[in-house]
Structure 1
Amino acid sequence: MKRLLWTLALLVPALAQPLPEALKKAPEVAAVVTARLEYEMRQKDLARTLQDPLRTPLAELQARQAEALAKARLERALAQAESDIVSAYAQAREAGLQVALAAKALEIAELGLRAAEVRLKGGGATSLDLLEAQNRVLEARKNLEAAKRGEESALAALANLVGPWKPEAVEALPPLPQEELVETLLQAHADLLNLRQSLELLRFQRGLLDESFAPRKDIEALEDQAKTLEENLKNLERSLRVGLKARFAQLSPLLQGVKTAEEAYRAAKERYQAEEKRFQAGLTSRLSLLQQELTLLQAGLSLEQAKHAYLKAYYGLLASR
């Protein structure tokens, strides 16, 4: 029954819904649900450990570490789910715009074909001109069908994350974050936390040993492991910092690209409006108006792609934790 209801839901046209609403679905993504269950289990383990009057400092440390690591992994899973939703949302939105572009291109090609047929009858075109116009129509139809298939695939991928969803244009973009975000993400990084905890645990175990009752080789083995972990921690932190800084550096140019695309869209809109007035006044053809409309749609797609590129980089950075 549930499967039937899900299938029916996919067949019902979804109303356009904004990205912020889609992001609210992130806690329901399977990976986040799994991470949350793990965190809740570790919370219970820690609570039981703290209630045990006979607990050892080592047992308490391990329970606290497990709870902290599960929390960090839950936060990473949630951030990754949001990043995945943004990417799928952007792909679905762009696929819909590609369909609109392809449909407009087909309309232009069909109008061009009718014009070629009229010119051929009047002696103003050759059979080769007509054949070329027919080929353009066939190509435009193929492009439209391909665009529709792409949209169906993109919507299905988005539905796997948030359910049936029809994305709409992104209006507001998150502001450029402060550079301190890099260090914040490093401190919250689950892999770094795992290494820090392992190092803390080794140092704790080393503190429990004394040469009066423990073989020197066992003590040295722990010390060697600690040194290796320290080096691994430094190397990983250095590598992650370089990667995070590179991701952060991409944001400003991408946001500037949005402004450039906005200016190009405004210019294309003004040209279309001027062409529309000329058409209404009988100064230009319908074909010229449609071509200008196609240019406007292309500018709109470029603007959406610029916004999506910034959003994907922004949420991709937040997921690097």
Structure 2
Amino acid sequence: MPDSDVKAPLLNSDPETVEDVFDNTYKEKEGPKPPVVIVWRNVILMSLLHIGALYGLSLIPVACTLTLMWSVFCSVFSALGITAGAHRLWSHRSYKASLPLRIFLAIGNTMAFQNDIYEWTRDHRVHHKYSETDADPHNAVRGFFFAHIGWLLVRKHPDVIEKGRKLELSDLRADKVVMFQRRYYKLLVPLMCFFIPMFVPWYMWGESLWVAYFIPAVLRYTMVLNATWLVNSAAHMWGNRPYDSNINPRENKFVTFSAIGEGYHNYHHTFPYDYASSEFGWRLNLTTCFIDFMCFLGLASDRKRVSKEMVLARAQRTGDGSHRSG
């Protein structure tokens, strides 16, 4: 069970009051939009990555069972580095983690290779505070492709940079695990994201280096990337809005399954400080199960939770009428 119910996020990400951290009051600037500048290096690298992942799919029939199991383990481990780590712990401070757990999550986050924790958290806080505006890094109003992957293929909108610089990120700078990862990120990523996933199957049970590279490394990495991106794209476009019909994020069961619990997105944007990112506890929510287990082991604590009364009141006040508790 959660340690306590709270009514305000414990997040210091702007000079405004804590209660206003995720209040989307930003207004778009009038005037001409800046030109879209394509980053061709990213276009080429992402294209090659996805071609490699498709080839990796064709190698699955010849891969060892242990290799496939190892790929699943690496997928879940790296995904938790994003969901339980960069997202629920560092971005939203929805629970507290001990040093060993923070190191574990930082390693998984490095294997996920989705920018270092500091940059990921900064962009995510901007995304919440200025959701669906030019200051949102993956503004879903610009379409599915942009919200999914396109935002990584072009230069950031100037508003994203401007608003990101104004965030108060002293909590991240004070975290030695976060800053260590940031300092050595470019050295750690090739090791954690590609070399170790490839080396273990080759060395431990004799898998071919070819298969070990394209399945546990390339295919696994690409699948985790796309699962995360679906939260930015599909979960902002398709599904119901039982908690707040005035915002774009939706409840999307497919995204919830593929992103290990992150698809309850209307709930999450309504109550971003809730460690479970859902009112349904463990249901389709491996990340919540993981955090609860860490609390059971004494490695995590102070899970922030929204009371059922508050959830029901909000659903009745601003929801689209689709809310079903329990």
Give the structure-1-normalised TM-score.
0.20
Q: Which has the larger radius of gyration?
A: 1
Give the structure-2-normalised TM-score.
0.20
